Amino acid sequence: MIPRPDIEDVKAIGYYLGKIILSLSATMVVPLLLGILLGEFSPAMDFMVGIEASLILGLFLTKICFTENDLNWMQGMIVVSLSWVVAMVLAAIPLYLSGHWLSFMDACFDTMSGLTTTGLALVQDMDHLSYSHNLWRHLIMFIGGQGIVIVAVSLFVKGFSGALKMYVGEARDEKILPNVIHGSRFIWLVSVVFLVLGTIALGVTGIVNGLKPFNAFFHGACIFMTAFDTGGFAPQSQSVLYYHSLAYEMITVIIIVLGALNFKLHYHVWNGNFKEMVKNIESRTFFVSILITFSITAVGLHQTGIYPQALVLFRKGFYQLISGHAGTGFQTIYAQQFLSDWNNLALAGMICAMALGGAACSTTGAIKMIRVGIIYKALRQDIKRIILPERVVIVQKFHHIRERFLNDKMVRAALMITLAYLALYAAGAIIGMLCGFSFLESLFESTSAAANVGLSCGITQAGMPAALKVTYMMQMWAGRLEFMSVLTLAGFIVAAVRGK
C-alpha cells in the first residue's frame, strides 16, 4: 500500500519551493538594472513583469505553506524537480514578452535549455535581441550551471539538513565542504573569481579583434558564463564562429575544461594540492576519453578530406569535440555542416563524446567521468578474477580526492545511471525518427539534449514538431537532475492519486 502524502508534505514542499522562486526573482534584478542603464525601457518592463510574477508566487507559497519543519529526503527531491519546472516558466516570461520567440512554449524551451546548461535555442533574430534579454539568457545558464538550489542555499536557506537534501537532489552527490551551505558559497566564489578573469581575457581579445569596448566586455562576460557553465548560448547567432579568432577559441577551450572539472577538485587545487589533478580518476578518465573520441572523429574527418591542415582540424574538428565532450555546445561550424561535411564515423565520435560528458559535481551533464572510471575499474577487477587463481583476493582501488576501495554498491550505482542515460538517448532518437528524421541525426540531437550539450545538426528550430520540443525539454530536465528527483516526483504524484 502506498501512503498518500499529507498536508505537512505539501507545506514543506511549497515553503522551500517559494524560497527558491524568491531567489530567482532576485536574479532578474540584474538584467532589469542593465536595461535601465542602457535606456532599454521596454525590455526593463518585461523584467518588471517577470519579477512581479515571481515575487507574488514566491511570497504566496512561503506565507501559505509556512512551516518550521525541515525537509526529509522525499520532500527535498520533489522541491528540486519542481523548482526547475517552475523556474523554466517564470524565467520565460521576460523572454516571451520581448517578441523574439514565436510562442511561450518556445521561450520555455530556451529557458529550460539555459537553466540545464544545454544550449539548444529557438530564439528568432538573436542578433537584434536587446542587451538585457541577451544577458538574461546567459545569466540563467550561469545560475543553472551552479544549480538553482545552490542560489537558494547560498541566500535563503539556513537549515543544514534541508539544504543537504536539496543539494543532493540536484545531482550533486559529493559535498565539497562538510557544511553544504559553505560548500555552495565556495562554488559561487570559484565561479565569480573565474568570471572576472575570464571576462577580462575575452574582453581584451574582443577589443584586439575589432569589437567596441562595451560590446567586447559584454560578449566576454556572456561567453564566459556559458563556457564555464558548459552551456552553449552565445550573444550572436553564429556562436563562437562569429569572432573568427583563434585566440578567442583557445581561451574558451581553457574555460570549458575548467567548467567540466569537479568543484571538489577545484577546492583541492585552490588549496595547493596540485597533484590531485593528475592522480584523480575523473581527470584521468576525462583526458583519456577526449583522446579516444577525438581519434575516432579525426579519422572520420580525415576520410572526408574536409580539413586537410592541422590548424583547421583543431579549429573545426577538435573544438567541436571538446565542446561536445564537456557539454558546452559552442560551434565554429554551422549546424548543417555536421551532416553535409562530416561522415558517419566522425559523427559517431561526436555522439560518444557528448554521451560521456565531464566530471560529477561540475557544471556538465551526461553520464560523467567518475561512472566511466568506476565501470572500467570494475571490468578490470572481473577480468583479474577470471584469469587469476580462485584463492587470490582481488582488491581494486581508485583515487578520487582520497584512496577508495571499489565495492559492488558503487558499481551498481554507476551502471544504473549509465543505463538510464543510454535509455534516455535512445528514447529521444526513436521519437526523432517518428517525426521523420534519420537515425543518426535523431540520435545526435537526442544525445545533445539529454546530455545537456547544445550542439545541433539542424533539427532544433522553431518549426520542428511540438512533440519533439516537449521531448527535448523533458530530456534536458531529466538529464540535468540525473533522474532520481524526477522519479521521486513521479512517485509522489502516483501516491497522491492512488495512495491511502
Burial of 331-363, coded b for 16+ CB within 10 Å and e otherwise, reads: bbbebebbbeebeebbbbbbbbbbbbbbbbbbb
Q: Which three cell numbers stand for residue 477?
A: 530536465
Confidence of residue 160 (pLDDT cuts 50, 70, 90): very low
User: Which one, of 494, 282, 491, 294, lies nearest residue 372 by Cα?
Assistant: 282
Whether the model pTM is above 0.85 = yes
- Model confidence at 208: pLDDT above 90: yes
> Look-up: residue for cell 501512503?
3
379 with 285: CB under 8 angstroms? no
Which residues, in sequence order, are bridge partners of residue 404?
398
Which residues pair with residue 388 across a beta bridge?
none
The Cα diameter of the chain in Å comes to 78
Q: Is 196 exposed, middle or buried (0-12, 13-18, 19+ CB in 10 A)?
A: exposed
Render pLDDT for 431-466 as a digit per residue (tens, 0 to 9): 999 999 999 999 999 999 999 999 999 999 999 999
Query: How many Å is the Cα radius of gyration of the chain?
Result: 22
Burial class (CB in 10 A: 0-12, 13-18, 19+), 419: exposed
Contact between 348 and 292 under an 8 Å Cβ cutoff? The reply is no
Dist CA 44 CA 29 (whole Å): 9
pLDDT band of residue 31 (cuts 50, 70, 90) is very high
Higher per-residue confidence, 362 vs 85 = 85
Q: How far apart are CA 223 and CA 331, in angstroms?
A: 12
Phi then psi for 378, rounded to 5 degrees? -65, -40
Choose among 266, 272, 318, 309: nearest CA to 291.
318
> ∠327-328-331 over CA atoms, to 5°?
125
The values of phi and psi at residue 487, to 5°, are -65, -35
Per the rule left: phi > 0, alpha: psi between -120 and 50, beta: everything else, 4 is: beta
Given a cut of 80, is residue 173 above it in pLDDT?
Answer: no
Domain segments of the chain as ranges: 1-173
Q: In sequence order, which ranges of 147-245 are alpha helices (DSSP H)? A: 148-155, 160-169, 180-208, 213-228
Q: Which residue has the cell 558503487?
A: 410
pLDDT, tens only, 314-360: 999 999 999 999 999 899 999 999 999 999 999 999 999 999 998 88
pLDDT at 116 over 70: yes
b/e map 13-51, b = 16+ CB within 10 Å: bbbbbbbbbbbbbbbbeebbebbeeeebeebbebbeebb
Half-sphere exposure of 127 (CA within 13 A, CB side): 4
* pLDDT at residue number 268: 81
Q: What grid cell was written down for 29?
A: 534584478
- Residue 338 has which C-alpha cell? 555536421
Closest residue by Cα to residue 75 from 163, 183, 173, 175: 163
Sequence-distant (6+) residues with CB within 8 A of 70 are 12, 159, 161, 162
